[in-house]
Amino acid sequence: MDRPRVLLLMFLFTFAALCAGTALNYLVNPYGVWPPALIDPIYRRIVHNRAEMPHLLRVAEPTTVMVGSSRVYQGIPIGQGYRDGVLNAGLGGATLRQVVEVVDLALANPRLRRIVWDVDFFQLDAGFDQDAPTLDERIAGSRRLLIEDTLLNLGTLGDSLDTIKRALRGRRHLRATRTATVPWPAGLICRQLKAQDFGLTHQTPAQIKIELTRSFPNLYVNYRFSTPLLELFRRTVNRARARGVEVIVFVPPMSQYELELVRQRGLWKTFEDFKRALASVGPFVDFSGYNEIARHDELFADVLHTKPAVGYQVLRIVLGMEPAACSGEVRLIARDAVHLNRHTIEGELAREKTMREIATARKTRYAEVVAEALDR
C-alpha cells in the first residue's frame, strides 16, 4: 500500500474516531450541558468544577444557587452539580471577583429565587485577587471552550463511559449521598458523619504543618483587607436583592488551626473588621470563631474544609430548616450558628473575644503546631 493511501486511511480513521467520540459525549451528556437526556441525570457527575460548572450554570435553571470557594464545592457537594433545583456553583480557590461573575451569570436565570453565599475571610484580601482568563471566558459563554470542555475532550469521553457504566449498574448501586434530597435529610447527615472515618483527626502534626505552609502557602500572608472588594460584594448583593432574589450570606466553620493561623499572623483585629463589614452589607450567619465547632477536629476533612455532613447541616441551618440533632457533635453546629446584623455584631464580637481569650490562655496543640509551622 502506497504512503499517500496509508496517510489518507489514518486521517479517515482518526476523523471517524473523533466524530464517534464527539457524538457519544453529546448523546450521553455527562455534565448536563447539552439537550439530550437519554440517560437519567442522576448518573451524571461533575468532576472538574472550574471547567464544567460554568457551562452547567448557563443552561440549568436552578431556583437555588450555592456560591463560594471550595468550602462550598467540597463541603456541600452535589455529585451531579445540580439536583432538586439546587446548583452547587462553588469554585476551588475562588476569588471574590470570580464568585461575583458566577452570581451575575446566575442572575440571568429568571427562575432563580435564592443565592446561598459562603464568604471567606481570605477572599477579602487585596492580594487574593488573581485573574483567571480561561474561567472568565467560560463564565462569559465561550462557545469554543464549551465544545472543547464537553465534546472534544478525552476526559469527557471517559466521563461519558463512566456515566454509562453507572446507568447499567442501576440506581440501587449509587451511594445515598448521590440520590438523597438537597439539602440532605437529617438522618443521612447523622449516618454520614458517623461513618466518615477520615479527616483532620487522622492527620499527624507534621501533615497539618504541611497543609499550613505548603498546601496553602499564601494563606493570610501579607493580608490587606480590600475595601474595593467589599464594595463589589455589597453592590452584587444589593443588585440581587433588587431583582427579588434572596441572598443568604454565611461565614463557614473554621478549624482552630486556621483560627490560630489568623491570630498568630496578627490578623485578629482585621478578622473582626471583616465581620463588621459583612454586617454593614446585611444579615449573615456566622459559624466561625473559637467555638466548639473549631475544637472538634472530627468535623473537619482537613485544616480548611469541613466534612460534607457538616456542610449539609450548615445548609439546613442557613435555609431555616430543622437541623439534625442525633449526636452532640451534630447539635453543636446549630448551637454555634450565630445570626448577626449591624445591630448585634459588636455584642457578638465581645463574646467571641472572651472565648478567644479563654481558648488561648494556655498552650494547646493548635497553637503549638501553628507556631512551629510559621517558624519554618
Q: Is residue 127 part of a domain?
A: yes
3-state secondary structure of 82: strand
User: Nearest Cα to 251, choosing from 226, 284, 293?
Assistant: 284
Q: Is residue 42 part of a domain?
A: no
Q: Is residue 232 part of a domain?
A: yes
Q: Is residue 108 part of a domain?
A: yes
Contact 302, 296 (CB under 8 A): no
In this predicted model, what pLDDT tens digit does every residue of 124-144 receive, in sequence order? Answer: 999 998 889 999 999 999 999
What pLDDT sits at residue 218?
79
What pLDDT sits at residue 19?
87
What pLDDT sits at residue 194?
85
What pLDDT sits at residue 327?
85
* Rounded CA separation 240/326 (Å): 36
Distances in Å between the Cα of 153 and the Cα atoms of 26, 38, 158, 304 are: 11, 20, 9, 32
- Domain residue limits at 194: 65-140+175-375
In this predicted model, what pLDDT tens digit does every residue of 337-351 receive, in sequence order? Answer: 999 999 999 999 999
What is the tally of structural domains in the chain? 1
Q: Is residue 306 part of a domain?
A: yes
- Provide the CA 232 distance to its chain's centre, in angstroms: 20
What pTM was estimated for this model as a whole?
0.94
- Name residues of the chain where pLDDT drops below 70: 1, 6-9, 11-14
Q: Report the CATH number that the domain containing residue 268 is assigned in CATH.
A: 3.40.50
Contact 319, 263 (CB under 8 A): no
Q: Is residue 153 part of a domain?
A: no
Q: Is residue 40 part of a domain?
A: no
What pLDDT sits at residue 16?
77
Strand stretches in 5-85, DSSP E: 64-67, 82-83
Q: Is residue 52 part of a domain?
A: no
What is the secondary structure of 97-133 as a DSSP string? HHHHHHHHHHTT-TT--EEEEE--GGGGBTTS----H
